[in-house]
Structure 1
Amino acid sequence: MNTLKTRWQQQSLRWLDDRIPARTKHTLNLRSIFIFPSKFGLSYLLMCGCLFLLGTNYQNNLMLLLCYFLLALLLVCLFKSYLNFACLTLTVDPIQSVFAGNNAVLSIQIQAANVRPGTSGGHDDKFPQGQLHFRWLRQKSMFNCDLNQAERSIRLPYITQRRGVYPLPRVTCISEYPLGLYRCWTHLDFDQRLVVYPAPVPCEMQLESRSQEAGKNATSQPGHDDFYSLRPFVPGEPLNRVAWKNVAKGADWVSKSFSQQQSLGGFLRLNLSSRDIEKELGKLAFQVLQLSDNQVPFGLILGSKCVEPGSGERHKQTCLLALARYGTLESAV
């Protein structure tokens, strides 16, 4: 049974990929909308059938008239439900990278397909009405968005448990407006790839150096060793940094800057002999964050892959991405 279920899910995903391709902006239409009577709608239809049988059996014209009226209302709701749902355009903001165990958030913006942005007010009759229900495909947790409110957007959380780079599942959007007789839904792929970094594991710093390159790659960093230059004095700085000779001559207040030599040959290396590679990756993630916060240049060695020494936000993201991709199919990209 599990094998058949898996095959059915794979076939349904392939069919959805052909019918509703992945894109960051979706305007709902006949091809992407599915509509079917809800449980309440099926009960309503059953009641209409019972009224028709009773009215026919007892030749009661009022009962038949009521049955026809209810069926006409059911038909009107069919078109109204579809037209209200087909007026939607949904766009997403790029999803931000997170560490394993934290929740990623997909921000979905909801607009009216036939109304220009900024022209529709909070009570515009042209804007779709009712509530939208969002959830990840084949998940039960539902998140609601009231289209009658001024803020027409929703933040859909996604629980992360493992590191890596993988596509987000489809988002199911559901509407039962106006009377709950019909259930309109769609399964949208917003073409988002989520980067999940290893969860940081606190540890001691293990920065290896290459002695043969230490002399070549030395650079100046702020410190306390050698005099470097003079710069304008900033109120609140220690007075022992003030160049008092310059002040005594009547010049402007200036502070002394010092520098120290720091090697750029430091590398973080993955311990491949460890039985728990995920823990080792977490330790490296912790060290990457610490070194980046302290603006210490470093490199990263992951088996045959090497990230050259550097510093800054971009270098930190490069190293964290390498940790997230290590040992996965994405590592070859």
Structure 2
Amino acid sequence: MTATSTAIYRRVWQRLATRRPRGAEAAILDRHRIYILPTRQGLLFGALLVVMLLGAINYSNNLAFVLTFVLGSQAVISILYTYRNLAGLRLRAGHHGEVFAGGSARLAVVLESDAAARVDVTVAWRKAEEGARVDVPGGGAVETRLELPAPRRGWLHPGRFVVATAHPLGLFRAWSWVELDLRVLVYPRPLAGPASGAGGVDSPGGTEGAAVDGHEDFANLRAFRTGDSPRHVAWKAVARGQPLHTKQFEERAEETLWLDYEALAGLDGEARLSRLAARVTELAAAGATWGLRLPGRELGPDRGAGHRRACLEALALFGAAP
């Protein structure tokens, strides 16, 4: 086979294997997407049947003919069962956890079956032997996870994966290439360092623990004003013959921190993002309030899981083309 014919064969095969649009949310395996070929065991079994048939012809042994044809018919019937083990199977993308650069992304794939159960189905990135084997109950669903290295921050597009089976006899292997919307956003790898000072990420801003009106700590007494709540009146002082006074309370305003990209002088761009990612994770775990300043973008002070996720996404996509 020449190089030109090999290239044409590869292009045709690639076109046949990717009939469905890329990045689909779900895929259903039908007869146009399932391929089936004999396995190594199937080829050996076929060679054995040929030898048995030649022996039966040579010795005119009817029992040998019967055994050869029975085994051959079983092999042919197994083609249908192997195909039906994949036909109609529905695959969709599941929910994945957060991923940091340098780790492994565990992408979830959900397999759903109709009334028929699917046995010994393998889902893998490349070779079926390297993937996870699952059994899908009839009318139910099962989730499996595929691991993929995430060496750098940004969007990770895993591409196609293979769904295969050799059930029931292992003589034939049916498979299909599937590409789902499994992309995952990889956050910068957290890099611990000083919070403030030389090389720190925190810069002053917002409130710095100032006292504001509240309902927690007693501050002082002031003269009673019309409209003051009776619950705040100093009734013990009134009982001692003193004029009406109202209790004042205060609480310390929570300190707001700013994580500033420009404050990390002396570090390269990726190291700055890693230091900021580590600080975002620390502040979120402590329940603090913080803001994030990046060149060309600013996320105002907030707290909680949603703000943490927004900050990590901003760090992961920093400098990327829209």
TM-score normalized by structure 2?
0.75
Question: 1:198: Cα distance to partner?
Answer: 0.9
Partners of 1:290 and 1:168 lie apart in 2 by: 30
Match of 2:191 among 188, 201, 213: 201
Aligned to 1:155: 145
1:93-132 matched pairs, under 5 angstroms: 93-113=94-114, 115=115, 126-128=116-118, 130-132=119-121
CA distance in 1, matches of 2:32, 2:78: 20
Match of 1:325 among 308, 317, 320: 317
The higher radius of gyration belongs to: 2
RMSD: 3.6
Q: CA deviation at 1:20?
A: 6.3
Alignment CA distance shift 1:298-1:153 (3 Å): closer
Contact 2:26 2:90 in 1 (8 A): yes
Aligned position for 1:123: none
Q: Aligned equivalents of 1:131 and 1:177: distance in 2?
A: 6
User: Which letter maps to 1:296?
Assistant: T
Q: Tell me, what secondary structure is at the counterpart of 1:85?
A: coil
- In structure 2, runs of 5+ residues without a counterpart are 196-200, 222-231, 237-246
Find the counterpart in structure 2 of residue 36 from structure 1. Answer: 37
User: Residue 28 of structure 2 aligns with which residue?
Assistant: 27
TM norm structure 1? 0.73
- Asked if the contact 1:137–1:187 (Cα under 8 Å) also holds between the matched residues in 2, the reply is no
Whole-Å separation in 1 of the counterparts to 2:269 and 2:202: 18
SS of 2:147's equivalent in the other structure is: strand
- Mapping 1:117-196, distance limit 5 Å: 126-128=116-118, 130-137=119-126, 141-147=130-136, 152-196=142-186
Match of 2:215 in 1: 230
1:140 is displaced (CA, Å) by: 6.2
Q: Identify the residue that residue 284 of structure 1 maps to in structure 2.
A: 276
In the TM superposition, what are the counterparts of 1:39-58 in structure 2 within 5 Å?
A: 39-58=40-59
Residue matched to 1:309: 300
Check the 8 A contact 1:22/1:188 in 2, yes or no.
Answer: no
For residues 296 and 157 of structure 1, the distance between their equivalents in structure 2, rounded to whole angstroms, comes to 34
Give the Cα separation in 2 of the matches to 1:9 and 1:106.
31
Query: Partners in 2 of 1:244 and 1:271 — Cα distance?
Result: 41
Deviations 1:183-208 (A, max 9, x none): 11112111121111111001112223
- Equivalent pairs counted in the alignment come to 289
- 1:234 equivalent in structure 2: none
2:130 match: secondary structure: coil
Amino-acid identity (%): 24
2:289 aligns to what SS in structure 1? coil
Q: Which range is displaced more, 8-17 or 166-175? A: 8-17
- Following superposition, the deviation at residue 285 of structure 1 comes to 0.9
* Matches for 1:54-73 after TM superposition, within 5 Å: 54-73=55-74
**Partner amino acid for 1:89?**
R
- Name the CA distance, whole Å, in 1 between partners of 2:300 and 2:10: 43
Q: Which residue is equivalent to 2:252?
A: 259
Deviations 1:105-130 (A, max 9, x none): 222222223x3xxxxxxxxxx322x2
Instruction: Give the deviation of 1:91 after TM superposition.
Output: 2.2
Q: Quote the Cα distance in structure 1 between the aligned partners of 2:249 and 2:130.
A: 60
Distance 1:326 1:21, change over 3 A: closer
CA contact (8 A) 1:20 1:32 kept: no
User: Could you tell me which residue of structure 1 aligns to residue 244 of structure 2?
Assistant: none
Q: Distance in 2 between matches of 1:151 and 1:99?
A: 29
Kindly state the Cα deviation for residue 316 of structure 1 after the two structures are TM-superposed: 2.7
In structure 2, C-alpha distance between the alignment counterparts of 1:178 and 1:207, rounded to whole Å: 62
- Deviations along 1:270-325, one digit per CA (max 9) or x if unpaired, are 579757433222112112223444433322224xx322433233333232222222
Judge which range, 188-197 or 143-152, deviates more: 143-152
SS of 2:41's partner is helix
Paired amino acid for 1:134: V
Q: Quickly say closer, same or farther: Cα 1:294–1:332, change in 2 above 3 A.
A: same
